Amino acid sequence: MLKLFRLLARGAAARAAEDFFDQNALLILDQQIRETRASLERSRRALAVAIAGDRAEARRAEAAEARAQDLETRAVAALKAGREDLAAEAAEAIAELEAERDAIRAARATFTAEVARIRETVAEAGRRQAELERGRRVAAAAEAVRRLGASARPQDTTTLREAEATLARLRELQAETADTEAALAEAEPGADIAERLRREGFGGSDRQTGSAVLERLRRSAGLAAETA
């Protein structure tokens, strides 16, 4: 029984870890992208330092070659002048310089192949990083749509379906109010027949005409009798 309880506890812990990961997958992805981006940047810097070091080695090899050639020219001149002792010292120095040059060339051949491999690895990592960040943008948009359409906690967040239902109910209530007001207007005693009689020309209109207003103004000014 104790073994069974332990097994259930491990299963519950695993399920809780999975649920936590699912709920926070986007945050976890963001952090992972930040870490891989930083790692890629460190790799690029390391590659740049290695390339700069290789170029420095190339300059060393060129300098050793130039010194060896200069010494060889001078040693030949010393031999021609009968100074074999100086020529012998120059020969020793030339041998050392040529050995240094050859060692640098051999090391650079190996280093160049390694740098090419590292460069390709960094380039591939850069392509994968770019693809990962594009995928993150798509995932963020999809997650926003998912949360908008179906919230994990309905008590905290209103869904589109709920908002649409509220709008439909509001429109229904407004339509009922408008219908009620129209019905009340029509139910006013004599309202309907009075309007129909006015339209047919029976009885005066409630609307004042320009001539009637002018006549009223003349009376107010004491001119009605003179006009008549």
* Span 45-67, average pLDDT: 89
Q: How far is it, in rounded angstroms, from Cα 124 to Cα 86?
A: 56
Q: How far is it, in rounded angstroms, from Cα 52 to Cα 46?
A: 10
Dihedral over Cα of 200, 206, 210, 211: its sign: positive
Q: Is 153 left (phi over 0), alpha (psi -120 to 50) or beta?
A: beta
Q: Is the pLDDT reported for residue 190 higher than 70?
A: no
pLDDT tens-digit readout, 12-25: 667 766 665 556 77
Residue 40 CA, distance from chain mean position: 19
pLDDT at site 227? 46
| Greater pLDDT, 63 or 218 | 63
Q: Is the pLDDT reported for residue 11 higher than 70?
A: yes
Please report, as a single letter, which amino acid is at residue 98.
E
Q: Which two tokens stand for residue 159?
A: 């869904």
pLDDT at site 4? 63
Q: Is 222 left (phi over 0), alpha (psi -120 to 50) or beta?
A: left
pLDDT at site 192? 63
- Annotate 151-218 with three-state secondary structure: CCCCCCCCCHHHHHHHHHHHHHHHHHHHHHHHHHHHCCCCHHHHHHHHHCCCCCCCCCCHHHHHHHHH
| Greater pLDDT, 205 or 55 | 55
Instruction: Count CB atoms within 10 A of the CB of residue 83.
Output: 14
Neighbour-count burial of 60, counting CB atoms closer than 10 A to its CB (0-12 exposed, 13-18 middle, 19+ buried): middle
Whether this model's pTM surpasses 0.75: no
Whole-Å CA distances, 4 to 8, 11, 15, 52, 90: 6, 10, 16, 62, 86
pLDDT at site 29? 83
pLDDT tens-digit readout, 137-168: 888 888 777 776 655 455 555 566 777 788 78
